[in-house]
Structure 1
Amino acid sequence: MPRVQSFLLVVANLLIPVALLVFATGFFPYKPFMPGLATYEKLGWEEKMGWSKAPEPKFDRLVFMVVDALRSDFVFGEESGMDFVQSLIRSGSAIPFTAHATSPTITMPRVKAMTTGSIPSFLDVILNFAESDTSSTLSTQDTWLAQLKAMEGGKLVMYGDDTWLKLFPSFFEREDGTSSFFVSDFTEVDNNVTRHVPAELLNSDWNAMIMHYLGLDHIGHKTGPKGPNMIPKQKEMDGIVRQIFEAIENEDHLSNTLFVLCGDHGMNEGGNHGGSAPGETSPALVFMSPKIKKITEFLNRESPVEPLQEFDYYKKIEQSDIAPTLAGLLGFPIPRNNLGVFIEDFLYFWDDGYDRIHLLLQNAMQMRKIVKANFPNQKWLHETEEVLCKEDMSSGEELACRWQKAGQMMSTFASVHPQMRVDYLYAFCRAAQEIMSSTASNYDVPRLVLGTFLAILSLSLTVITLFPKFKSITATGFSYALTLVLYGVLMFASSYVEEEHHFWYWTTSAWFFYLFISSSREKWFSKFIFHPAIMLLFLHRIARRWNQTGQKYAGAPDIVHSPMLRGPNSIVLWSLIGATYMDIAIRLAKHVSRSIAEYDKKTGEVEDNDANRFIGTLAVLPLGATAFVFKLAFTAQDAPELVQGINEGMLAWVGQLSLVDLARMVFGGIALSGSWIAFAEWKRSRGRKEGKGNGDLAVALFDLTAIFLVTQTKSQNIPLYLIFRMQIFFLTLLDLSPTAITLTTLLLSQSSFFILGNSNAISSIDLSNSYNGISGYNVGLVGILLFLSNWAGPVYFSLAGILLLGQHGKLRRNINVSEMDSRDWVAQERQHLEHLAKKEDEGAERRNGWGAWRDHIALLTLFTAGGVGAVMAACTALRTHLFIWTVFSPKFLYAMAWGVAFHFGVSVGLGSVFWWAGSW
């Protein structure tokens, strides 16, 4: 029977990633597009309107400058550092807009929207992080780059974010790409672009130059929108704008150049992006040229200005409107998959009203093809027939009605004012844009159903594996089942998904209160204030107040942003950080001391002494000190507001150190210490009798992992590990069953994820520690560090749960901060093992070996399969929901990370290593 259970558990675990993959292929398909390049076609009204050719273009050259994460207030606000751009707005040489960037606000889908005019697939969120991916190329799609390249003598040059090189392979005459993910670099990544600008401004062989600057986005990820480096970076970008604009004014070959400055997306108050917060969806957009004064001569725009609404400055347009506007201004056909609308301000470059109609009619005819392809069964009546419009029309009927009204206006007598025709064409185009942009994705429903079924099958197999445990119903088992059911139900509510942290906070608190009630009858727990469960509740309350997260209260006061840890009081923060590193270093010193002590094979005791402890302290001190100095140097460069209370001389010294070298020294010290301790324990294990292992290696590996996780955590969150450590200490004082340990591990893993400031929004992903010890972009290493830095809390408690579970087997009990001599613990452990050896029932076997580990993994698999299944069922049922792309789709991506990277990689993979190490 145990073998059958183990086999079913393996199959259940393998089904989870398969289910996620199948579901993802149906939920995130590439949207279909019409291949080939658009060409000018007859519109049907040429003879009536007297059109012989398309309106003359107003520009013959384009400079397209993207500043990554250029939020609207960075250009138009009172505190902006872009004075020159603001002067161009005031003088009439620039027209400003706030461009609405739809979710997901990630670089790749935003570049796709700007170049094709279409709405990208949400799958681009995943592909955006795969630096080597080429499956998302736009080489076969119609874009304004392809149209410019197809023109006579068309040549493109590109410098900056290599996302463009991935999207447009072999498009550019000259190119120099930079990695968009090396967020530790604020300067070189931009200098590598700027160094090409002077020479290219003197060249006349290109008709489009694209630049994509990354430094401002990197500053945002590191220090937020109000960081000390933000205004200097804005001034630097403003200087580049000045250099290019003055060249346009002075160089003859640039006299007909259109200069576009824009952001691909914005950023939230944490400096991140990916979601749908106003700051993330509101990048700046500015069209600049001396020729623009022709259409702004009667306008007196002020700059800077106050926003009309949050981050809404001047007129707000869709980011997809860039593509058809460039097509009209530069004289090429509108890309075939475009859903953008020509920006009305630029119509007045053409004095003839019929030229304006011609431009807009091209836009409307192109969008009509897309509408007809999406509504193939809609009866599109001839333009001259009577319009059959009614109330409560479907989307297709509404667009048919608007098109016919526009067609009737185009076919009426020439005495109709051109502006009336323009108004009707705009009415159709904007309605088509709104309806087609919100049309549900082409989901593969059978795949959605199959993926959900596979998750349910995994759940069922796990239930079969655990069936023997269901013979008796316990309060712990009921609590576990209730947690799983409530979690699954809440996944169907968007507001609960956004505020999921509250569920875990309250569920964890309720569980700790139950532990108090269930164990309060024990004699030595009679005093309420000293009860371990009460202390767990108290510590949990502090931890959950450390960071505000979610959507509704993201900006509410918390401990991290309080004056007690910032400014002159930052010395308090660094005292706590130092205490955290010191606590880990003291425990590591004990492990090193034990590794060099003599071992008695007969008694199983370690003959430790003061000399060994002194040597152990000397051996570990450099590792702890280096880790602390690295964190101080890292914070001094990236968040100087957190080190204001530190001695200036010390800050000047650490400022000269290499962050990459320091991080490598820390990681190298961890690896060296782990290798030494593992080698020492291996040598001892060769002389031990079976059953003599005390699990010290597993505890040592846990402490080494702890110092690594602390290094991968934001400085302001490091003191939380002192709280986490104390929580583990109080848990060891409670006599928890294996099932209770698993449930506690699950609750603390989930709640610690949110306690560290994470949420279910893509914008909460922190990139700041993803390059520790890495001097360049490496997708594998960066991906691992990215995951471990964002899931540091869950990893910590997942591995701590293995040690807690080991108290019922062969692991050493001393995982708390106790000063009791290790020999006493060894003697107690031997007695404990002898006691277990006398029990021959199945329950004792399960607690003392593979059975306990199998049940632990089975319970974690049960929750993972159930949770993943609930998320997929919610996404399937609510696939037409208004928040499917802003709430449920990001939650599914997080479910993938929890199901594959955390459950498979940490709970099962790394957890197995710890369980095996506990047998030494």
Structure 2
Amino acid sequence: MILFDLINAEMANFPLLALLRSGVFAVALYFCLMGLFSHPTGLVREIDPVVVPKVSRVSNIILMVVDALRSNMISSKNYSKNWPNLYAIIEEGAGQCFTAYLTSPSVTSPRIKAMATGNIPGFIDILYNLEDSSVEQPSWVQLMAANNRRLELYGDDTWLRLFPGAFKRSDGTTSFYVTDFFEVDDNVTRHLDGRLAALHDWDLLILHYLGLDHIGHVQGPHGDAMPTKIREMDIVLGKIVSVLNSSTNDWLLVLTGDHGMSDQGSHGGSSFPELTTSMILISPKFKNQKTSMCTIDGEVFEAKSDQTDLATMMGLLTGVGIPAGSIGVPPLRVLQTFWPQPFHRYAILLELLEHLRKLTKCTDAACDHEFLTSSDVVKLDQLHSEISSLVRLCSATVPPHPACDRMATEMEKVTAQVVNLLTAFQRRTLLHTNNKIAGGLVGFICLVMAAISLSFLVPGIRDILNWEEHSSLKPSHRQRALAYTLLAVNSLLALLLHLFSLTASSLIEEEHQTWYFLATTNCFALLLVLALSVRDGGSSCSSIICVTFVLCLDRFLLKLLNQTGDKWLHLPDLTDWLEEHSLFLWMAQSLAWTGILLTRGLLALFTGRFSRLHLRTMLSLIVVALTQLVYRIAVHAAEPNRMHLSSSSWTSLLLPARLAFLALAADLAVCLWFSFRLVAWSNDLRTSSPLLSTTSCEGWELPSPVHTLALLACLLGRTTSVLLWTGVMIKEILLARVFHTEFAALGSSSPQARSKLIYFIVMLYWMEGWATFFQQGNSNKFSTVDMAAGYVGLSGHSHILSTIMVLFYTYAGPLFWQLSLYFRYILNYGINKRVLGSETRRSHVRNSVVTFSLGFLTLATTVSAVVCLFFHSHLFIWSVFAPKLFFMAAYCCVSIPVYILMLAF
């Protein structure tokens, strides 16, 4: 009963209670995410007791990780010509090639954990990708360090954060400053000569190159700088192999990537290019093999491996043992090459079987394990018994037992059987990973979240569906109230329909189509209502023209700028065409900025006696336009020679960006100052002289400070983003004009009609916000998050600033429309009296608007959480449903504080 009491209308509009419920929802959401995604598998994870390490099979191992090296960047015809040294090595027979598969999420930190531990990181690890803590699970890195093996790390400092104290020497570089293509890799390569000259001084050397990933984020996989960067990696590889070949040491070089890269250049999603990379093993010992495994199937290597295989392989080769919890399977060719002697081969096979028995706790044929079939359990017990007996019999110093002759004759057959058994277990583990959750606890948390969401929404729904008030209205107002009620009900049903769409994977992948349809449909419904009102003399033709223009903007420009979704993401869009035709791109930019300036200039004509003050906002906007154009020109001029710029030359490009930030800050201050001064003057004029008060401007004519945030998004985004935001700002101004005109026609005698119209505006702005989110090129894939937005104007990586800018740019669309709603209809009380009425009415409308918006936010997030709970074993849980929940959770973190501030003012 307590939960139902929360749905009382008066309590729902109480800011303190809304704050409390928002806080409870945020805490519940956190525990919901942890309950759903923080327990990857039910495998044994405890660290084994310290054992005496075996002798390493190689003296020196180099792990060369090229960040975001997708699987076709070595093997496809488009890229293979950039690897002359690598292909020369492969032709000599010294290389073995694999396509390495990995699991979602395809971001650096979880992938390093998988390579080091051989286990499957939790999906929740994507939240910790920016700030990593040390790995608690056993890994070959920790085992080597514990056994006094000498490790060195040069490159991505994620390794240093995950494995503190493990490296004897290191020089870490930040992985997040994505506009740095060259220096981040030069800092790695400059150590090579010295370390290759001292092979006796280290056992394992990790080189983690970041430049290729950075190029992908900025230019995409087919960017102009990509061939040069790949050739640079090939030169480094050739130098390493040349030096190692001249030494007498046994050595192994592993070339791989931590994850792949999408066709748009980012990563984090679940597409094939993101979840595959190449793994090349290079050693002179491979020349003894009769055949090579570097055959190509299509555009990738035919031989397959899993990223977790690296952990088991490294543990065996270094002699420190397999990390507890590793599900990796050493490649068959590695076993054949580094353990050619029968006894040594059987000993290593026995170690693999012992590891599998520990993982599954299956020590006899009667074992029952979810990842092993009954025949697998029998096979495991049989192989373990036979191999352990042979190893025991043949390890004696006395003349060998006659049964030892079987070792040589059956060695390859038994090896294949063990590898096949391990592979079957690995595949089932990967297929069913993350299926174990605390369903009861998560279900209860979802109920709490649902109750809070309904407590926000139900009062507004009750107001919308309240038909009793209509009978007391004048006939003219009754008709308008009915029209607004129908608009609000239509919008409400549309948003509820969207909630149902969150249960379908294909509709989530193409969610932009849903929002485009809903936003367009509701604008068209508004157009019909206005057309009918014009016939009755209630609305003006100018309002119809405004809404028609909004519809045309949406359908014929904004939705064409950026292709998004899943099925048609690969198709070229208007942005692609403009970037290929630089002349038209610069013309479009100039027209966009001219449109922004003209829009604000025309608004100044409506402000009457305050037009002179409005000119100050014009001057600040001109400065914003000039500084942003200068920044774009500077970046464009530097782009062709980016791979060859010195650090100081590239750093000098920071000045235009920072000047643009200063101009935006000045514009925001001027717009805020003008708006609040105008509100104060409007109040004074209404008090002193009703005649003078008629010269004051409407709320829609104000230079909105929220538009400055749109201009910030122009700076953070791609060059064509100014086209999108020009259209969005014009849409917002036109819709504000239409609704203020409607409020003026209603007057102050029909609070019921105003209430219905307010609710419709809230829902329309909610739809427009998410439509803009997708028009910006976003989707429900992590790979579409533009990380480059977090580094505009920064000379180095800053976790706080970069995260804030990336979050702001990603959710700029919803934030823009929600803040515009608040500014146009609530904040400017002095101007909006015809909208809000009395001060008491203003508080009521403010609380209703904010809590109603919170209701849609929290309910959509709750539905996503419930879908993840029920579909936890669904094929698309990690590629579709989980990312959607994470996007909604991140938006909650961004928007809930904003809503709380709205309630406070």
Q: Of 473, 484, 488, which aligns to 2:495?
A: 484
**Cα offset for 1:570?**
2.5
Residue 291 of structure 2 corresponds to which residue in structure 1?
299
Contact 2:269 2:879 in 1 (8 A): yes
Q: Distance in 1 between matches of 2:422 and 2:893?
A: 44
Q: Of 377, 392, 401, which aligns to 1:400?
A: 377
Residue 316 of structure 1 corresponds to which residue in structure 2?
304
Residue 231 of structure 1 corresponds to which residue in structure 2?
227
Amino acid at match of 1:216: L
The 5-angstrom pairing of residues 41-56 of structure 1 reads none
The 5-angstrom pairing of residues 507-586 of structure 1 reads 507-523=518-534, 531-542=545-556, 543-562=558-577, 565-567=578-580, 569-586=581-598
Name the CA shift for 1:863/1:164 in 2 (closer, same or farther; >3 Å). same
The answer to whether the aligner puts 1:765 opposite 2:785 as a matched pair is yes
The answer to whether the aligner puts 1:715 opposite 2:712 as a matched pair is no
> Quick check: 158-167 or 522-531, which moved more?
522-531
Residue 337 of structure 1 corresponds to which residue in structure 2?
325
The answer to whether the aligner puts 1:146 opposite 2:142 as a matched pair is yes
The answer to whether the aligner puts 1:155 opposite 2:147 as a matched pair is no
Residue 79 of structure 1 corresponds to which residue in structure 2?
78
Q: Distance in 1 between matches of 2:641 and 2:856?
A: 42
Q: Distance in 1 between matches of 2:381 and 2:306?
A: 25
Name the CA shift for 1:497/1:380 in 2 (closer, same or farther; >3 Å). farther
**Cα offset for 1:591?**
9.3
Name the CA shift for 1:619/1:325 in 2 (closer, same or farther; >3 Å). closer
**Cα offset for 1:657?**
8.3
Amino acid at match of 2:582: S
Name the CA shift for 1:327/1:691 in 2 (closer, same or farther; >3 Å). farther
The answer to whether the aligner puts 1:672 opposite 2:666 as a matched pair is yes
**Cα offset for 1:635?**
4.5
> Quick check: 85-94 or 225-234, which moved more?
85-94
Q: Of 167, 178, 185, which aligns to 2:180?
A: 185
**Cα offset for 1:455?**
1.4
**Cα offset for 1:462?**
1.4
Q: Distance in 2 between matches of 1:677 and 1:528?
A: 26
Q: Distance in 2 between matches of 1:628 and 1:478?
A: 44
**Cα offset for 1:580?**
2.4
Q: Distance in 2 between matches of 1:453 and 1:481?
A: 22
Residue 242 of structure 1 corresponds to which residue in structure 2?
238
Contact 2:531 2:544 in 1 (8 A): no
Contact 1:512 1:533 in 2 (8 A): yes
Contact 1:148 1:207 in 2 (8 A): no
Residue 112 of structure 1 corresponds to which residue in structure 2?
113
Residue 738 of structure 2 corresponds to which residue in structure 1?
733
Q: Distance in 2 between matches of 1:417 and 1:166?
A: 45
Residue 752 of structure 2 corresponds to which residue in structure 1?
none
Residue 863 of structure 1 corresponds to which residue in structure 2?
856
Name the CA shift for 1:883/1:677 in 2 (closer, same or farther; >3 Å). closer
SS in 1 for 2:172: strand
Residues 602-651 of structure 1: per-residue CA shift (max 9 Å, x gap): xx973645xx777765554333211112123334545899xxxxxxxxx9
Contact 1:681 1:697 in 2 (8 A): no
The 5-angstrom pairing of residues 436-475 of structure 1 reads 436-441=429-434, 442-466=436-460, 467-472=462-467, 474-475=485-486
Residue 59 of structure 1 corresponds to which residue in structure 2?
58
**Cα offset for 1:488?**
2.2
**Cα offset for 1:247?**
1.4
The answer to whether the aligner puts 1:16 opposite 2:25 as a matched pair is yes
Contact 2:156 2:175 in 1 (8 A): yes
Residue 397 of structure 2 corresponds to which residue in structure 1?
none
The answer to whether the aligner puts 1:496 opposite 2:485 as a matched pair is no
Residue 359 of structure 1 corresponds to which residue in structure 2?
348
Q: Of 606, 610, 617, which aligns to 2:609?
A: 606
When the two structures are superposed, what TM-score results if normalisation uses the length of structure 2? Answer: 0.84
Name the CA shift for 1:141/1:18 in 2 (closer, same or farther; >3 Å). closer
Residues 444-492 of structure 1: per-residue CA shift (max 9 Å, x gap): 2243123212211212221454344442383233223323322222222
Residues 24-79 of structure 1: per-residue CA shift (max 9 Å, x gap): 121122557533346669xxxxxxxxxxx97x643122111111011122222223
Residue 101 of structure 1 corresponds to which residue in structure 2?
102
The 5-angstrom pairing of residues 247-286 of structure 1 reads 247-252=243-248, 255-286=249-280
Contact 2:212 2:229 in 1 (8 A): yes
Q: Distance in 1 between matches of 2:355 and 2:33?
A: 32
Residue 5 of structure 1 corresponds to which residue in structure 2?
13
**Cα offset for 1:93?**
1.6
Residue 692 of structure 2 corresponds to which residue in structure 1?
none
Residue 314 of structure 2 corresponds to which residue in structure 1?
326
Contact 1:354 1:418 in 2 (8 A): no
Q: What 5-or-longer segments of structure 2 have no aligned partner?
A: 1-8, 391-402, 468-481, 687-695, 744-756
Q: Distance in 2 between matches of 1:325 and 1:794?
A: 48
**Cα offset for 1:396?**
5.3
Q: Distance in 2 between matches of 1:282 and 1:519?
A: 54
The answer to whether the aligner puts 1:904 opposite 2:896 as a matched pair is yes
When the two structures are superposed, what TM-score results if normalisation uses the length of structure 1? Answer: 0.82
Name the CA shift for 1:874/1:684 in 2 (closer, same or farther; >3 Å). closer
Contact 1:321 1:340 in 2 (8 A): yes
Contact 1:72 1:312 in 2 (8 A): yes
Residues 555-586 of structure 1: per-residue CA shift (max 9 Å, x gap): 12422223xx243x322222222232333345
Q: Which has the larger helix fraction?
A: 2
Q: Of 773, 793, 801, which aligns to 1:781?
A: 801
> Quick check: 685-694 or 768-777, which moved more?
685-694
Contact 1:748 1:794 in 2 (8 A): yes
Contact 1:184 1:768 in 2 (8 A): yes
Name the CA shift for 1:874/1:846 in 2 (closer, same or farther; >3 Å). farther
Name the CA shift for 1:352/1:314 in 2 (closer, same or farther; >3 Å). same
Give the share of equivalent positions with the same residue, in percent: 25
Name the CA shift for 1:36/1:440 in 2 (closer, same or farther; >3 Å). closer
Q: Distance in 1 between matches of 2:427 and 2:709?
A: 51
Name the CA shift for 1:888/1:439 in 2 (closer, same or farther; >3 Å). same
Name the CA shift for 1:398/1:719 in 2 (closer, same or farther; >3 Å). farther
SS in 1 for 2:304: strand
Amino acid at match of 1:662: P
Name the CA shift for 1:589/1:257 in 2 (closer, same or farther; >3 Å). farther
Q: CA RMSD in A?
A: 3.5
Q: What 5-or-longer segments of structure 1 have no aligned partner?
A: 42-52, 373-377, 595-603, 642-650, 813-832, 837-842
Residue 708 of structure 2 corresponds to which residue in structure 1?
704
Contact 1:222 1:271 in 2 (8 A): yes
Residues 255-292 of structure 1: per-residue CA shift (max 9 Å, x gap): 22211111001101100111121111121111112232
**Cα offset for 1:335?**
1.1
Q: Distance in 2 between matches of 1:623 and 1:535?
A: 26
**Cα offset for 1:538?**
2.3
**Cα offset for 1:245?**
1.2
> Quick check: 202-211 or 801-810, which moved more?
801-810
Contact 1:183 1:768 in 2 (8 A): yes
The answer to whether the aligner puts 1:217 opposite 2:245 as a matched pair is no
Amino acid at match of 1:239: I
Amino acid at match of 2:795: S
Contact 1:581 1:628 in 2 (8 A): no
**Cα offset for 1:196?**
1.3
The 5-angstrom pairing of residues 619-630 of structure 1 reads 620-630=621-631
SS in 2 for 1:261: strand
